[in-house]
Structure 1
């Protein structure tokens, strides 16, 4: 007997949104189940934040539907109360202590007075911020402020938490602490939707990923399945430079099959590069052409390679490929 698949907690169907006659979301479909973490990735302006705001009930689509727990979060207050929204900006009162901030948000979430102290204590324990409960938020480090920001979203004990760039601007220690918080939420059965530019973060946290561009989902699916399919092909080559490439060096790198990454000192090729040369021979060839290459790395493709493939221009009419699997 086949086991029934749980109905998604979040379901977005054919959602379209426009600002001043500019379409920012174009018939987007998305689903998210309880206990699942979905990472939204895409360039600036792709529609990640707009989609997150639709799911949060801050906006309503011009067409299509958004449902959280079967209800429209824009029109049904109870549905919005079941959602924890963590914006990219720190949305706290800097002169109030951590505990005072959380007490305010507990009240705003509609909790009865007798429930607030327990909710505050529970959120502080989950986010590991009890040690700074009596300190003003404005005096905390950026990492602690972001954890308090997350704690504030948990006052209503939501089944869904939405986060927009939750580790932006924090150091590695704070980043690890925030990731631990999200891991504990997931273990508790909370559904998590996270918009991020950080490939390592998404690869570490997400069960599923959705790549967005031009207001559409270009590709979506289980991260493990998408990576397994990609890694069945050629390994990824990466060149690390000691100095940014000169115009002649850039030309040599492109002839060898490389493209610039998010840093000027790293160039990548999603498929085997260098006309079949091994790593040492390829390094020597690039250096002979004036490229300041420190090393050539050969490794299994990661999430960035999957992202670049998903958002690469397509032949013919050039529309983004809408699919849930790598073809």
Structure 2
């Protein structure tokens, strides 16, 4: 079966702010009816890349095409795009239906067609029950669903979402995921920037990991995970206290990297995908780490998932003769 032509094609795109490169030679494709999740640490360039695709910015070099047109210069390409920012971009004093009507007008929907467009968006986002309520009185989850609904008023072929479930509860998150599932089933292409690995794993067909303005890993999610799972299982060290510098060095030598720190401070969880290479089982590894001053409380072994893929993509490969065997250090 022939591979469908990409709806979105980014080729060697470079973007700079005041001579500082935030995107550096990015290549990316997305076809209709597929979801591509952008992953990466803060400052990696995810939002900047989405702004390029949305036509809000122009690349310094390289090219961006949506429906084979430049979205920065071609209004027709921009009309094919629905943009859902991380912030709630609605009129709080207007009702849900009034917001949809305003955005339908801004999207160029004719007066005759607006009623049907509003009804279709209410139905797809399952928000008809709150259509008459002011947006400012709705919960955060409902506001985010309305935020998505207004992006659909022009019947876009591509929807861009930046952290669409940030700050919502589990029920609202499930409702938003259902909306995106229906969009995908209708053939809409979705580009999703998220820090939520479970969300990306549930929704995405493909993933792209960005770091320092470059795509460091990209491809079919199932295929990438299958490659990762041919190696050793993922190991996770749970610490009883934050690691001091010496303990951090031991963990990194053993092939571990910290999960992202939370608001409470440094991460107490360190993970690896297929490393360390010393061949220790969980109990032996726990003892070896403790013997070298690491405040390890528990070792978990599991099949690598998207978090492991992400860490593997971001973790520099060690020099082959650099790692010191963990047990040798423990025996001193």
The whole-number CA distance in structure 2 between the counterparts of 1:41 and 1:74 is: 24
CA offset digits 1:170-204 (Å, max 9, x no partner):
12221111111111111111000011122221111
CA apart distance, 1:270? 2.1
Query: Do residues 24 (structure 1) and 15 (structure 2) align?
Result: no
CA apart distance, 1:312? 2.7
Could you state the TM-score of these two structures normalised by the residue count of structure 1?
A: 0.89
Q: Is the 8 A contact 2:234 2:302 kept in 1?
A: yes
The whole-number CA distance in structure 1 between the counterparts of 2:183 and 2:122 is: 13
The whole-number CA distance in structure 2 between the counterparts of 1:16 and 1:163 is: 21
Query: Do residues 266 (structure 1) and 264 (structure 2) align?
Result: no
User: Which deviates the most, 258-267 or 180-189?
Assistant: 258-267
- SS of 2:192's partner is strand
CA offset digits 1:193-252 (Å, max 9, x no partner):
011122221111111111112222112111111110010001111122344345565455
Q: RMSD of the TM alignment (CA)?
A: 2.1
- SS of 1:298's partner is strand
CA offset digits 1:276-304 (Å, max 9, x no partner):
33223433454566655443211111112
Paired position in structure 2 for 1:320: none
Could you state the TM-score of these two structures normalised by the residue count of structure 2?
A: 0.88
Q: Is the 8 A contact 2:33 2:184 kept in 1?
A: yes
Paired position in structure 2 for 1:128: 126
Paired position in structure 2 for 1:239: 237
- SS of 1:269's partner is strand
* Structure 1 gaps, min length 5: 317-327
Q: Is the 8 A contact 2:206 2:218 kept in 1?
A: yes
Paired position in structure 2 for 1:305: 308
User: Which deviates the most, 8-17 or 151-160?
Assistant: 8-17
Paired position in structure 2 for 1:322: none
Paired position in structure 2 for 1:79: 77
Paired position in structure 2 for 1:321: none
Paired position in structure 2 for 1:150: 148
The whole-number CA distance in structure 2 between the counterparts of 1:276 and 1:315 is: 17
1:96–1:10 Cα change, 3 Å? same
Find runs of 4+ consecutive structure 1 residues off by over 6 angstroms.
none
1:192–1:289 Cα change, 3 Å? same
1:254–1:70 Cα change, 3 Å? closer
Q: Is the 8 A contact 1:274 1:282 kept in 2?
A: no
Paired position in structure 1 for 2:228: 230
Query: Do residues 189 (structure 1) and 192 (structure 2) align?
Result: no
Alignment of 1:159-170 (within 5 A): 159-170=157-168
The whole-number CA distance in structure 1 between the counterparts of 2:215 and 2:254 is: 31
Paired position in structure 1 for 2:135: 137
Aligned length: 314
Query: Do residues 175 (structure 1) and 173 (structure 2) align?
Result: yes
